[in-house]
């Protein structure tokens, strides 16, 4: 698992490979949820399934991805992989519905966003995959749980506009009005995902009751990624761990752990290797600054609307180093410390180790700026711990 966490990087090619694998996982779990007639199910080679899921095939043998530049669509599952993933003639989604859904998901992620795009979705889905394979979860989760976890990770930022919730509220955006200023982005991601599920007919073979349940539980998972509710979920998680009353035989407790796993996956970038973590930090800061800064050619969004620039979004007063130090200190570290209490594994220790190294790296950069006489940027000690979780939305 440590090797998987370290080696699956965030270039486009590796993101493609990750989503290939994870959607094979999803399709296999759909097959397990089916109710096929025993005489209709052909034999399935366990070795073949392991080979598919371990990704022993070369990426270059996948027809759709030869020479794909970063600007091109990140298709989730190409034709030859779809064919190899067939495990039952009664698989719960048809080939056509699968293709339609994957293309819709890809198109609904806005490629112009530096951070909240399809590659971020691939990164979060890969992290979720790693967490679901942890021993405590692997032995307890049902196929239904795994399906929901991967689906939520894939769609959790669908149609993200590239700005945060406070900006949508301050500009009286129609989404803020529609969702009454409450979990505006997360409600939009959820409803967008439901729309794609219905339009594609991905679960058309399921009874209506099951389809509605998928939509409802998918919403509960996606809504949990609202960073403004971080302390609420963290306190609940810590309380369960202190009381030692989490029981993964209970469906409600399993769902709560899926929520926490998705929250971890969504903000796990600081727990990656320095190269990957720094890459994502630069991307999210670019998106922040696009929302709030002056550019050479025009006033950007917030200053164009004559609004106060949101915390973390003003390139005149903020630096990437200070943003990351505050984010790691007040948001990431408390969550992953509790996750390690829940799942004390090599992967958890690896993530905390990288988090410590990355904090040290950013701290060193802060000190370099301070020693160079650059006093225009606030130090991490001056960062507002109450504001950071609210305004560092969906890092």
Residue 279 assigned to a binding site: no
Given 3-state DSSP classes, what are the helix, strand and coil percentages for the chain, each rounded to the nearest 5?
Answer: 65, 0, 35
Q: How is residue 285 written in tokens?
A: 């800061």
299 pairs with which residues across the strands? 294
Select which of 20, 60, 90, 116 is catalytic: 116
DSSP letter (8 states) at residue 332: I
- Please give the Cα distance from 80 to 88 (Å, whole number): 16
> Kindly report the CA angle at 210 between 42 and 122, in degrees rounded to 5?
75
Q: How many CA atoms lie within 13 A of 238 on its CB side?
A: 11
Residue 255 assigned to a binding site: no
Residue 266 assigned to a binding site: yes
- Please give the Cα distance from 125 to 285 (Å, whole number): 21
Positive or negative torsion for Cα 59, 65, 70, 75:
negative
Three-class secondary structure assignment of 192-235 = HHHHHHHHHCCCCCCCHHHHHHHHHHHHHHHHCCCHHHHHHHHH
Residue 119 assigned to a binding site: yes
Q: How many CA atoms lie within 13 A of 225 on its CB side?
A: 33
| Cα→Cα distances 388→7, 127, 165, 233, 355, Å | 30, 23, 13, 16, 18
Let me know if 116 is a catalytic residue.
yes
Give the residue among 93, 85, 120, 89 at the shortest CA–CA distance from 106. Answer: 120
Residues present in the chain in total: 395
Residue 120 assigned to a binding site: yes
Residue 188 assigned to a binding site: no
Nearest 5°: phi and psi at 106? -60, -45
Active site residues: 116
Bind-site residues for AMP: 116-120, 157, 266, 324
Bind-site residues for Zn(2+): 120, 156-157, 266
Bind-site residues: 116-120, 156-157, 266, 324
């Amino acid at each position: 698992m440590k090797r998987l966490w370290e080696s699956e990087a965030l270039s486009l090619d590796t993101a493609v490979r990750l989503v290939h694998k994870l959607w094979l996982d999803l399709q296999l779990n759909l097959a397990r949820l089916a109710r096929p007639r025993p005489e209709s199910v052909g034999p399935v080679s366990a070795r073949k399934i392991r080979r598919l899921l371990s990704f022993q095939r070369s990426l270059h043998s996948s027809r759709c991805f030869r020479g794909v530049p970063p600007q091109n669509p990140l298709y989730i599952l190409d034709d030859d992989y779809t064919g190899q993933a067939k495990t039952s003639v009664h698989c719960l989604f048809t080939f056509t519905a699968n293709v339609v859904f994957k293309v819709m998901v890809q198109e609904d992620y806005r490629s112009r966003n530096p951070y909240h795009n399809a590659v971020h979705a691939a990164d979060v889905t890969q992290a979720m995959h790693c967490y679901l394979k942890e021993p405590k979860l692997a032995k307890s989760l049902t196929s239904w749980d795994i399906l929901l976890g991967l689906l939520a990770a894939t769609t959790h930022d669908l149609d993200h506009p590239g700005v945060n919730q406070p900006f949508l509220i301050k500009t009286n955006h129609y989404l803020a009005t529609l969702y009454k200023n409450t979990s505006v982005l997360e409600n939009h991601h959820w409803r967008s995902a439901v729309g794609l599920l219905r339009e594609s007919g991905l679960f058309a073979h399921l009874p209506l009751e099951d389809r509605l349940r998928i939509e409802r539980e998918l919403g509960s998972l996606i809504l949990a990624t609202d960073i403004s509710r971080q302390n609420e979920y963290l306190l609940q998680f810590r309380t369960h761990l202190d009381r030692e009353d989490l029981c993964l035989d209970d469906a409600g407790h399993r769902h709560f752990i899926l929520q926490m796993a998705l929250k971890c996956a969504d903000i796990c970038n600081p727990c990656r290797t320095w190269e990957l973590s720094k890459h994502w930090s630069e991307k999210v800061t670019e998106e922040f600054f696009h929302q709030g800064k002056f550019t050479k050619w025009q006033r950007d969004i917030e200053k164009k609307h004559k609004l106060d620039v949101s915390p973390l979004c003003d390139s005149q007063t903020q630096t990437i180093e200070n943003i990351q130090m505050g984010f790691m200190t007040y948001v990431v570290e408390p969550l992953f410390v509790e996750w390690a209490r829940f799942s004390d594994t090599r992967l958890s220790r690896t993530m905390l180790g990288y988090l410590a190294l990355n904090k040290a790296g950013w701290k060193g950069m802060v000190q370099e700026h301070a020693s160079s006489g650059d006093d225009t940027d606030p130090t991490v000690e001056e960062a507002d711990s109450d504001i950071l979780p609210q305004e560092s939305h969906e890092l």
